[in-house]
Structure 1
Amino acid sequence: MQKLFLTTALFCALAAPSFAAKPAEGEKLADKQELNYWLLDALKTLDPGKNTDREGSDALRQLFEGLMNEDLHGAVVPGVAESYEVSDDKKTYTFHLRDAKWSNGDPVTANDFVYAWRRVADPATASEYAWFLELMNVENASAVVKAEKKPDELGVKALDDKTLEVKLTAATPYFLKTLAHPATFPVPQKVIEAEGDKWTQAGKLVSNGAYKLDRHDLGVQAVMSKNDNYWDAANTVLTTLRFVTVNDQNIGLTRYLAGELDWMDRTPAGQFPRLQKEYPDQAVSVPDACSYAYLFNLSDKGPKELKDLRVRQALSYAVDRDIIVDKVLQGGQKPAYWWTHWAVEGFQKPDIEMGKWTQAERVEKAKALLKEAGYGPENPLKITIQYNTSDDHKKLAVAVQQFWKQIGVQAELANYEWKVHTDRLQNQDFQVARYAWCADYNEPSTFLDYFRTGGYNNGKWSNAEYDKLLEEAKTAADTGPIYKKAEEVLIGDMALVPVYHYSKPMMIKPDLRGWPKDNVMNDWYAKDMYRVAP
């Protein structure tokens, strides 16, 4: 067994890993240590095992803490785990937990992780992230998720209160990176069993992170305060967090400029160049490991028209990505001709033909493909584009509607609130739908596994060659070429319309320190932040 102490061997490459908010020399802390953070959509859930969206993860990262956290550069750093040992075959990890407490004063134990992971894998929980444990290669995860084995057969065990053992089916190089994801966070068993689905309500929720939940008005705000029982509370500076929901980005920007918000991590489309000029110390754009696309519903409930590869290709070719990033968004985004974000660690650029053509060539090829598939002026292709409430999503949907009109496609727009939109996606009640995927960890498989047969995969695309490549990558010494080939298969069969790779054009108050500008994951921890005096 090889023993590694997380504060030394694992992070020796970092000269000064950041574990807490530490003001630099000469900085004076502000008297008021609060953060008002903008949310576009309401927090759908505060249950780590049931969350599916990026904004929910941002909130959960403050309330709960897993075995690992991320530092300002995106590297994994100690969370509840102080050290770990790994077997010679890299398939058994033994984690040693620090002395940590829940917000009610109870100790955090290895069994809290066992219970949480089994709960996610258990079909009775109906967690939409059960597949994540399969991706982690936890022993028996697939069989438990499919109800072929019982949850207590999952490869995770408490050796004692402070020792957690995890068995994997294969050596998994990215395994440690997955342990900072909310799906792996511990949850309080006795609270859940006592309160049922109400356990996440303010006044009932018990958390082990740096903050505790004081109030949650759905669609308005969630208020959190410093958790004095957190193991590193002495180094936590921000005392109050407010997650404020504002569905309209333009109104959100107005409220930011009025001083009501401190951090708006997505400025309205087209406004970033102006904001950079007017507020050079507040307007910032950084790479963000998310990709924006339009999904095709290829399930049995999807329209027969989309079952034709030529139709899918035509719809993808016709989208002018340069106009979208240069004229509509204008925030540092890059056109996407593949799925995985270009800045993800280990990514190798795939060979995608349509990325080499001019837009005029793409449009001509799209028209020819539609004609070949039997569509024309007398028999136009009719399709519905679904998107969730947002001025930006609407702008993009309108643009795509016009791009498709140029090749003779009649597209109707359908707008739904976030929860309804995601419910419809999960139930395959759509034809073409706006979607985005943000990396769960910094490695290409976090994007590619989405389209695995049996994966999250709302469009239900399935390809045996693709599945085989992902399976091969699990144990490969060099995954780069395999992921590259998988990307080529995915786009070759046009499972989606990739549109753009995210950047984060945002507005952030200049007195806020400790936000992760160098972490492509953009995962942030308020415990590492502080505000300085003017």
Structure 2
Amino acid sequence: MTRLTRSALAALLSSAALFAALPAGAQDTHPETGEALAADQVFTYRLLDNVSSLDPQIVEDVDGSDVVRDLFEGLMNQDAQGNLVPGVATGYEVSDDRKTYTFTLREDAVWSDGEPVTAGDFVYAWRRAADPATASPYQWFVELMSLENAGAIVAGEMAPDQLGVSAPDDRTLEVRLSEPLPYFPQMTTHSTTFPTPQRVIEEHGSEWTRPENIVSNGAYVLTEYSPGERIVRERNEAYWNNAETIIDRVVALVINDENVALTRYLAGELDRTEVPAGQFPRLSQERPDEAISFPRLCNYYYTFNLSESGPEAFKDPRVRKALSLAVDRDIIVNNVKAGGEPPAYTFTPEAVAGFTPPETEMAGMTQAERDEMAKELLAEAGYGPDNPLSFDMIYNTDEAHEKIAVVLSQMWKQKLGVQATLANMEWKVFLDTRGQQDFEMARGAWCGDYNEASTFLDLLDSASGYNDGKYNNPEYDALIEQAKTAEDTTPLYTQAEQIIAEDMPVIPIYHYAGVYMLDSDVGGWPVDNVEQNWYSRELYKKAE
């Protein structure tokens, strides 16, 4: 066995000595920065909509994952720069063939009811995620991790207890991969891999995540959940690293209107909210210490329904490419969003570690040249004044999404004579509608589950659970499969992006920036972590 992380992780663990073993509220200053701490350590922020779930194996949205990351803790966490640091596991070893990982679990990790967190809790959770009976939206992620027998289990051809994960003892988790996967450890920071308490789930069924039932192992416990209104989590005194936690209470308020959220932020009701589209330039001048923008590992796109239920017009790549060419991304990022988001001419963001976006034909053209090519392609496909193209496009309720959808429809109408009919939907209805291919064109966005290009490119693999448009290209699939074991993935990812640029199964619009109003009293926000896996226990409120 080759020891990979033990010495590095030991150094990270030693930083705990910097903290006094006192409740955070009893500390007058931050143990590392020396800043004076506020007496009231409550962090309040805005959610756009209700979260999809609080169950680690069911949650599928970014906001929901942020909450789950507070309530539960997996094998590994991330630091403020996105590097791996210990979670429930103190470290791991990997075999010489890089197909077996052995994680050592800490002895002081317990559930909020005082029961120890064991390797068996991870075995149960991972089997549960893979089991078709669970109907996890992230079931495909287990297969993506290259766990032994995952494909057959996901397909219902093998029992979940055959998954390549076992517990030789309570403190040892053994993971067997079907093939080496260089970024496997990074995948253990994802909520799908978090442990779940079998005894609680078996007792309460689907209601196990209600505040009165839930048992969790993270730095916080759930104390209030009013769907569509608020989610409150409070310090978990049983958490193994509770002495380092400073924020006592986290309140997430569901506010559908971003301008209302901004008003409430300016009134002092929120510590963090998103900047409404187009308002960052003004706010950064008026409140330079609070308006922030930084790169994020996310993309924003529109996807075509290429399944049998999709419109016939979209089965022609010339139509798809024409619509993408006619989108003036500079107008969207500079005039609509105006928050520092880069325009997207590839599906994978440039912020991804080790990824250099290939030069696509579209990126090298002027917008006038793109518009001209769009008209030519649409005419070649048989659409024009005598046979106008029309379709429906859907997005989830949000002012920024609405503005972008309106601008897109206007661009297509003015340049190409295309009629796009817009419809907005509540978040859960939208997810269900898109997931069942009950649409023609739909908004899409993806934030990386780990910092590697495959977290984006895998979405368009024909077998991906989040390939909502049901794009299917065997050549593309083969490239993605080959990249999993390749020493040099760069040429493979370049080819994959070039296929996307030619087939255009999606229309990349822009790559995200984190554009927030963040109260200057809040410290510890991980602006250098492009994945934005943030932990409330790392935040703190400064004294005014």
Asked whether the two chains share a fold, i.e. TM above 0.5, the reply is: yes
Residue pair 1:18, 1:71 contacting (<8 A) in 2 also: no
Name the counterpart of 1:147: 156
Which of 220, 223, 235 does residue 232 from structure 2 map onto? 223
Which of 41, 45, 68 does residue 33 from structure 1 map onto? 41
Name the counterpart of 2:505: 495
The runs of at least 4 consecutive aligned structure 1 residues that moved more than 2 Å come to 3-6, 8-26
After superposition, residues 411-426 of structure 1 pair within 5 angstroms as: 411-426=420-435
Q: Name the TM-score, length of structure 2 as normaliser.
A: 0.96
Offset of residue 92 of structure 1: 0.2
Residue pair 2:271, 2:519 contacting (<8 A) in 1 also: yes
Offset of residue 60 of structure 1: 0.5
How many residue pairs were aligned? 532
SS in 2 for 1:344: coil
Question: Distance in 2 between the 1:529 and 1:433 partners?
Answer: 36
SS in 2 for 1:459: coil
Offset of residue 26 of structure 1: 3.5
Name the counterpart of 1:46: 54
Which of 196, 203, 216 does residue 205 from structure 2 map onto? 196
Which of 78, 81, 87 does residue 70 from structure 1 map onto? 78
Structure 1 spans left out of the alignment, 5+ residues: none
Residue-by-residue CA offset, 1:77-115 (whole Å, 9 max, x unaligned): 100001211100110001110020001111100010000
Offset of residue 389 of structure 1: 0.3
SS in 2 for 1:368: helix
> Aligned pair 1:390/2:395, yes or no?
no
Question: Distance in 2 between the 1:376 and 1:17 partners?
Answer: 67
Question: Distance in 1 between the 2:378 and 2:366 partners?
Answer: 19
After superposition, residues 73-92 of structure 1 pair within 5 angstroms as: 73-92=81-100
After superposition, residues 318-329 of structure 1 pair within 5 angstroms as: 318-329=326-337
SS in 2 for 1:285: strand
Question: Distance in 2 between the 1:168 and 1:225 partners?
Answer: 37
Question: Distance in 2 between the 1:237 and 1:14 partners?
Answer: 18
Name the counterpart of 1:276: 284
> Aligned pair 1:451/2:460, yes or no?
yes
Name the counterpart of 1:374: 382
Which residue identity does 1:288 align to in structure 2? R
SS in 1 for 2:91: strand
Offset of residue 488 of structure 1: 1.1
Residue pair 1:17, 1:71 contacting (<8 A) in 2 also: no
Q: Name the TM-score, length of structure 1 as normaliser.
A: 0.97
SS in 1 for 2:253: strand
> Aligned pair 1:347/2:365, yes or no?
no
Name the counterpart of 1:9: 8
Residue pair 1:139, 1:169 contacting (<8 A) in 2 also: yes
Name the counterpart of 1:287: 295
Name the counterpart of 2:120: 111
Which residue identity does 2:8 align to in structure 1? A
Residue pair 1:23, 1:530 contacting (<8 A) in 2 also: no
Question: Distance in 2 between the 1:510 and 1:10 partners?
Answer: 31
Structure-2 change in CA distance of 1:17 and 1:279 (3 Å): farther
Offset of residue 13 of structure 1: 10
Which of 462, 480, 483 does residue 473 from structure 1 map onto? 483
Name the counterpart of 2:221: 212
After superposition, residues 431-446 of structure 1 pair within 5 angstroms as: 431-446=440-455
Question: Distance in 1 between the 2:231 and 2:9 partners?
Answer: 35
Which of 128, 133, 138 does residue 142 from structure 2 map onto? 133
Name the counterpart of 2:254: 245
Question: Distance in 2 between the 1:139 and 1:353 partners?
Answer: 40
> Aligned pair 1:531/2:530, yes or no?
no
Structure-2 change in CA distance of 1:284 and 1:395 (3 Å): same
Structure 2 spans left out of the alignment, 5+ residues: 25-29
SS in 2 for 1:200: coil
Residue pair 1:270, 1:330 contacting (<8 A) in 2 also: yes
Question: Distance in 1 between the 2:382 and 2:44 partners?
Answer: 54
After superposition, residues 511-522 of structure 1 pair within 5 angstroms as: 511-522=521-532
Question: Distance in 2 between the 1:457 and 1:167 partners?
Answer: 27
Which residue identity does 1:511 align to in structure 2? D
Deviates more, 1:396-405 or 1:482-491: 482-491
Question: Distance in 1 between the 2:17 and 2:541 partners?
Answer: 16
Which of 353, 360, 368 does residue 368 from structure 2 map onto? 360
Residue pair 2:94, 2:100 contacting (<8 A) in 1 also: yes
Residue pair 1:27, 1:532 contacting (<8 A) in 2 also: yes
Q: Percent identity?
A: 55
Question: Distance in 2 between the 1:10 and 1:237 partners?
Answer: 22
Deviates more, 1:8-17 or 1:468-477: 8-17
Question: Distance in 1 between the 2:14 and 2:400 partners?
Answer: 40
Residue pair 1:18, 1:528 contacting (<8 A) in 2 also: no
Question: Distance in 2 between the 1:19 and 1:247 partners?
Answer: 41
Structure-2 change in CA distance of 1:63 and 1:19 (3 Å): farther
Structure-2 change in CA distance of 1:239 and 1:279 (3 Å): same
SS in 2 for 1:260: coil
> Aligned pair 1:315/2:323, yes or no?
yes
Offset of residue 176 of structure 1: 0.7
Deviates more, 1:342-351 or 1:421-430: 342-351
Which of 182, 194, 198 does residue 185 from structure 1 map onto? 194
Question: Distance in 2 between the 1:518 and 1:524 partners?
Answer: 11
Which of 393, 412, 418 does residue 404 from structure 1 map onto? 412
Offset of residue 519 of structure 1: 0.6
SS in 2 for 1:244: strand
Offset of residue 502 of structure 1: 0.5
Structure-2 change in CA distance of 1:282 and 1:23 (3 Å): farther
Residue pair 1:388, 1:417 contacting (<8 A) in 2 also: yes
Residue-by-residue CA offset, 1:170-217 (whole Å, 9 max, x unaligned): 111110110000000000000000000000111111110000000100
